[in-house]
Amino acid sequence: MTYQLSDFDYALPSELIAQHPKANRTDARLLQLLPEGVKHGYFPDIQQLLQPGDLLVINNTRVIKARLFAQKDSGGQAEVLFERLLDPHRALCQVRVSKPLKTGRHLNVASHPLTCESRQGQFYVLVSKLPWLDLLDQQGHVPLPPYIERDRSEQEPSALDEDHYQTVYGQIPGAVAAPTAGLHFSEALLATLRTQGVDIAEVTLHVGSGTFQPVRGELADHVMHSEYYQVEPVTAQQIQNTQDNGGRVVAVGTTVVRTLESSAAANGGRVTAGEGDTQLFITPGFRFQVVDALITNFHLPASTLMMLVTAFAGYDEVMHAYREAVEQRYQFFSYGDAMFLHRQDSSDV
């Protein structure tokens, strides 16, 4: 079947878009799309859904304070959104200005100068005398997603945002947006899973701002944004051991799916230690080689992530589950509720 962009759209009342994090991470509801149908519960039900011998794979990226307010050397205002570190003093960034920046022009963030070295598509290469990660730590703001729209009095991220728009296990700085499925895990819940025989492995994929870019035009013409990923040798071995012993590989979030399936696609179907950039675009008909089950949040209508989850668990099944989630008043997107999905074999599609 040939799909159109409109096939991945669904009606979502705006009041179902979560605007604030929950006080307790594990308070989220959990829609379970199981072989026998849809079941409703709460996130701690993960303890019953995971089994001894399963491998839970998490993304250990850490969200950085990637949003900077700057002043042009001509006196105008600018907003800089960090995308990727090229080296300690050079970074790929989006820059919101009234007129495009030219090579050699300067921006000032407080007393710290940034120089425009070049332009690469929608991004600029900006050079900072102060190491970029130090600059972001000192002057940056948490870049909340564009669909979080609050009253003017609370537009800036709060202390709760800075804590909760970050997984408890995030270690490697570099993400512009959080791998949001992981936001529901507490340290206590992870400890409980370990005691019941669930192993935990880590990968790194730095989520870029392109994750919020809409799909335009025909699906066949869409090019995914590039994101950096890394798989350590211990993780590759954990995955191999799990598969050899008949356990399930359970991905926490679509970023983990893209990491593992990108590695497998590049290495003959097997996850191998290494790093690289992925532009993997997963749509219905994709053959998954690694991930058996997926924990994820609810995604934007007509987005690439809707395509990924329908490819994973079945188009009709996922679209039905989303309609039911709307009827049951689930909360959507980054601060919203979660889903647990089984992979549907291609023979079942």
Nearest C-alpha neighbor of 329 from the set 12, 24, 26, 21: 12
- CATH number of the domain to which 283 belongs: 3.40.1780.10
Residue type, 270: R
Partners of residue 277 on adjacent β-strands: 228
Tokens 């993960």 found at: 46
Question: Is 341 inside any structural domain?
Answer: yes
Q: Residue 223: what pLDDT?
A: 85
Residues 214 and 125 in one domain: no
Q: Residue 66: what pLDDT?
A: 93
State the residue range of the domain holding 207: 5-63+161-348
Residues 212 and 343 in one domain: yes
Q: Residue 154: what pLDDT?
A: 57
Give the relative orientation of helices 315-327 and 304-313 as an angle to the nearest 10 degrees. 110
> What CA–CA distance (Å, rounded) separates 90 from 78?
18
The Cα-based distances of 40 to 28, 224, 328 in angstroms read 11, 33, 9
The Cα-based distances of 122 to 81, 95, 101 in angstroms read 12, 9, 11
Residues 267 and 130 in one domain: no
Q: Is the pLDDT of residue 9 over 80?
A: yes
| CA quadruple 113, 118, 122, 123: dihedral sign | negative
Q: Residue 348: what pLDDT?
A: 43
Residues 191 and 309 in one domain: yes
Q: Is the pLDDT of residue 347 over 90?
A: no
Helix (H, G, I), strand (E, B) or coil at 45: helix
Residues 195 and 248 in one domain: yes
Give the relative orientation of helices 254-266 and 304-313 as an angle to the nearest 10 degrees. 70
Q: What is the pLDDT of residues 197-213, one digit of tens each?
A: 999 999 999 998 766 67
Q: What is the mean pLDDT of residues 48-53?
A: 98
> What CA–CA distance (Å, rounded) separates 164 from 158?
10
Chain centroid to CA 184: 13
- CATH number of the domain to which 126 belongs: 2.40.10.240
Domains: count for the chain = 2
Residues 227 and 252 in one domain: yes
Question: Is 83 inside any structural domain?
Answer: yes
Contact 144, 18 (CB under 8 A): no
Question: Is 284 inside any structural domain?
Answer: yes
Q: Is the pLDDT of residue 114 over 90?
A: yes
* Other Cβ atoms within 10 Å of 97 Cβ, number: 17
Residues 256 and 332 in one domain: yes
Question: Is 219 inside any structural domain?
Answer: yes
Residues 133 and 177 in one domain: no
Helix (H, G, I), strand (E, B) or coil at 70: strand
Q: Give the domain-ending residue among 109, 139, 169.
A: 139
Question: Is 227 inside any structural domain?
Answer: yes
Residues 244 and 202 in one domain: yes
Residues 173 and 244 in one domain: yes
Q: Give the domain-ending residue among 86, 106, 139.
A: 139
Residues 123 and 168 in one domain: no
> What CA–CA distance (Å, rounded) separates 273 from 267?
10
Encode 234-257 in three state secondary structure: HHHHHHHHHHHCCCCEEEECHHHH
Question: Is 153 inside any structural domain?
Answer: no
Residues 83 and 211 in one domain: no
